[in-house]
Structure 1
């Protein structure tokens, strides 16, 4: 039995046992990785190397962007930005069938992108739009499904902490290129949800009878401009080379703080302590997870696990179409029970080399793995966005699951486009000159 197989089995078995026992994911990763290297190294060397890998894994300048984007997101979540984006989305959707459902989808795309959190988007949009929709005669389960299905789009549309994490674990893939690559798949996801919502709304007769005058529309748009400018300033600055993604995260914090404190005046100075505290706690969890996952990445590389998995897949089939389909199925399954960040950290070193051997760019693979894992956030048994959306809508999980099926079909169709049509992800990075 090869060392790669032995180490791989140890990691898989120990990790599953510890997770089922309720051990935190970061601790589970560290223990399973150390045990997996013991057949090759003695205990002292394994622990010392593991500690070194943990610190080297978090000693990366790009990583500083994550706590600042988290802080910016928390400021915006409490800064009244969601309401402005909802009002702006209402103007865009007009009086088409299911207008409030489309409003929800567009607002999720914008707010999720700005806040960097699908859970925050589902919670904020569901709690604000839900009561209005119910008052206008919309079925709350219909609105819940739209909200849940479209909430993860902000994890693909930049700025995205998941893509920054992937950049680190993939060996330094350009963050700016990843940000550009996420736009089209993220927008297509949102549009696919709107198309499904449109046909269901037309069938059920959901129509918006209220007209928005030109003056009202202009007023709402002007109120939303400062919020929308955040995306333009941060992403535009990164793309133009004015500042890096890390520096852009600081700009996002300063801008959102000024906007919430002095322009909208929705946050007071006394609120900042709790905002900073929440951001620090979330950062600590993510950064520790990234550090510990560096041990697993090293163990996998040292024992040759990715090569062994690649060879195994190639013995099953030499068809790139089938191999990519198998990888997608595995990632979809993983995403149903594991959070996005640890899944990206664990499975990128395994599947990225395989996809690169098939000619796929690391940029395209980054969007593909993120897309798969985002679907997991709206899929049982662990999908956090699914359960938040159900709770906010004050409905039951069994009421929305059947109604989510057409949305799943539409989203999977976009996933297949993202996987098999490189231009879906690569067109913008190529246009902006990030890859020749």
Structure 2
């Protein structure tokens, strides 16, 4: 009965519009009260859930992304992307994919990526004659690459939700090739749709222009290299690399680009504080939820139900992907990771999937959920910028959805795509 209160209560709160963090907390407290346990158990689990040194990396990574967002990095990345691929058919769409990928590596946040790139690229594409739905779909799907980048705070959340089964360095290395696969799939979708709609080709400006635009964008992109090299070489821990990234972003935007004003700095800091508060609240409350999931053996029961349907690893992984996708349409990334990792990670490990590979799988599923109503955060932001309805965009979303699903299938069923680079770099 307590497990029913936990699960049904959680879904009921979501349906009536209660914020995710409070839906998790209220359902957990209901189950605790039914078991006649002290309410102090909930607060003890919340405190212990947030009391981890590695979590310091989360506000630092978030603050780095906000500084880059307000510091004018986006404009330089857009200029470089246009010079590089703007001459291809549907050149602005291709440029959009490249720019979103590069900025996603800097910000580590699909939402920040859509906000920054969308505000620049979507109006530009509409002025050049591209349809609004195409501009929005290209932007919102390309921005999802940010979830796999080294600056993504969701990587930190997953490593801690996995209970020490995977290192941050391994997961950062594992995300590189899937991010490239996702970018290639997005480029293919953008090109095919542009070709079918007859969008024009541009003119190649020459390698000299490409070189100059790359030189202007390179200092901003170097933050990714700094984080990867620092962590994989052992010079920094993940938390230290995040702090160094903040100092680098400040030095870059204040002293080199000279594009960050004091007012923008305050706004970036305020946004980072707000986002950090939301994430840490989710982490603390989800720790209580996770404690109850473990207490009631939810992972074991779920595994038994799946095994009753099929014991083929391909079928098990397909079922896990479908469930993660469905939950991702209702929950934010952090909540999905924190709730689902303790349940599905043991199941996938039982059928031969590495915890590192599962981390990339759950991040991709969560990213896919960001572009799917009713939550669909990136989708709603893109539609607001493009001044187009969600319904209009959803009618033409399928080629881009297909690109994401293709990337997810490759990562799920071909372990080498996520496991090869960690095995080489962390030998």
Please report how far the alpha carbon of residue 131 of structure 1 lies from its aligned counterpart in structure 2 after TM superposition.
2.8
Alignment check: 8 A CA contact 1:97 1:202 kept: yes
Alignment equivalent of 1:9, drawn from 4, 28, 39: 4
Segment drifting more, 357-366 vs 7-16? 7-16
Provide the residue aligned with 2:41 in structure 1: 49
Segment drifting more, 244-253 vs 272-281? 272-281
Please report how far the alpha carbon of residue 61 of structure 1 lies from its aligned counterpart in structure 2 after TM superposition.
0.9
Provide the residue aligned with 2:201 in structure 1: 208
Please report how far the alpha carbon of residue 17 of structure 1 lies from its aligned counterpart in structure 2 after TM superposition.
2.0
Provide the residue aligned with 1:339 in structure 2: 332
Provide the residue aligned with 1:79 in structure 2: 71
Provide the residue aligned with 1:146 in structure 2: 138
The TM-score normalised by the length of structure 1 is 0.94
Segment drifting more, 214-223 vs 352-361? 214-223
Q: Deviations over 1:388-423 (max 9, x none)?
A: 111111222222212111111121111111111111
Please report how far the alpha carbon of residue 94 of structure 1 lies from its aligned counterpart in structure 2 after TM superposition.
4.3
Alignment equivalent of 1:316, drawn from 309, 315, 334: 309
Alignment equivalent of 2:380, drawn from 387, 402, 416: 387
> Is residue 2:113 matched to residue 1:113?
no
Provide the residue aligned with 2:51 in structure 1: 59
Provide the residue aligned with 1:187 in structure 2: 180
Alignment check: 8 A CA contact 1:181 1:367 kept: yes
> Is residue 2:30 matched to residue 1:35?
yes
Please report how far the alpha carbon of residue 91 of structure 1 lies from its aligned counterpart in structure 2 after TM superposition.
2.3
Please report how far the alpha carbon of residue 370 of structure 1 lies from its aligned counterpart in structure 2 after TM superposition.
1.1
2:123 and 2:203 map into 1 onto residues whose CA distance is: 17
Please report how far the alpha carbon of residue 39 of structure 1 lies from its aligned counterpart in structure 2 after TM superposition.
4.9
Segment drifting more, 264-273 vs 243-252? 264-273
SS in 2 for 1:267: coil
Q: Matches of residues 91-102 of structure 1 in structure 2 within 5 Å?
A: 91-102=83-94
Alignment equivalent of 1:133, drawn from 122, 125, 140: 125
Provide the residue aligned with 1:24 in structure 2: 19
5+ long unaligned stretches in structure 2? none
Alignment check: 8 A CA contact 2:162 2:342 kept: yes
5+ long unaligned stretches in structure 1? 1-5
> Is residue 2:367 matched to residue 1:374?
yes
1:270 and 1:126 map into 2 onto residues whose CA distance is: 22
Please report how far the alpha carbon of residue 22 of structure 1 lies from its aligned counterpart in structure 2 after TM superposition.
3.0
Q: Deviations over 1:255-277 (max 9, x none)?
A: 11111111111112243223222
Segment drifting more, 267-276 vs 82-91? 267-276
1:107 and 1:219 map into 2 onto residues whose CA distance is: 16
Alignment equivalent of 1:104, drawn from 81, 96, 103: 96
Q: Deviations over 1:192-235 (max 9, x none)?
A: 11101112222333233333133322221111111111111112
Provide the residue aligned with 1:247 in structure 2: 240
Please report how far the alpha carbon of residue 7 of structure 1 lies from its aligned counterpart in structure 2 after TM superposition.
3.4
Alignment equivalent of 2:344, drawn from 337, 343, 351: 351
Please report how far the alpha carbon of residue 34 of structure 1 lies from its aligned counterpart in structure 2 after TM superposition.
2.8
Alignment equivalent of 1:307, drawn from 292, 300, 304: 300
Segment drifting more, 223-232 vs 183-192? 183-192
* CA pair 188-277 structure 1, distance change in 2 beyond 3 A: same
Alignment check: 8 A CA contact 1:95 1:207 kept: no
How many matched pairs? 426
Alignment check: 8 A CA contact 1:160 1:179 kept: no
Q: Deviations over 1:153-211 (max 9, x none)?
A: 11112221111100011012211111111112122112111101112222333233333
Segment drifting more, 248-257 vs 396-405? 396-405
2:185 and 2:127 map into 1 onto residues whose CA distance is: 26
Alignment check: 8 A CA contact 1:82 1:125 kept: yes
Q: Deviations over 1:258-309 (max 9, x none)?
A: 1111111111224322322221121111112101111111111122121111
Runs of 4+ in 1 over 6 A off after TM superposition: none
Alignment check: 8 A CA contact 2:50 2:283 kept: yes
Alignment check: 8 A CA contact 1:15 1:28 kept: yes
2:365 and 2:394 map into 1 onto residues whose CA distance is: 18
The TM-score normalised by the length of structure 2 is 0.96
Provide the residue aligned with 1:280 in structure 2: 273
Alignment check: 8 A CA contact 1:149 1:404 kept: no
Provide the residue aligned with 2:163 in structure 1: 171
1:375 and 1:92 map into 2 onto residues whose CA distance is: 27
Segment drifting more, 126-135 vs 311-320? 126-135
SS in 2 for 1:43: coil
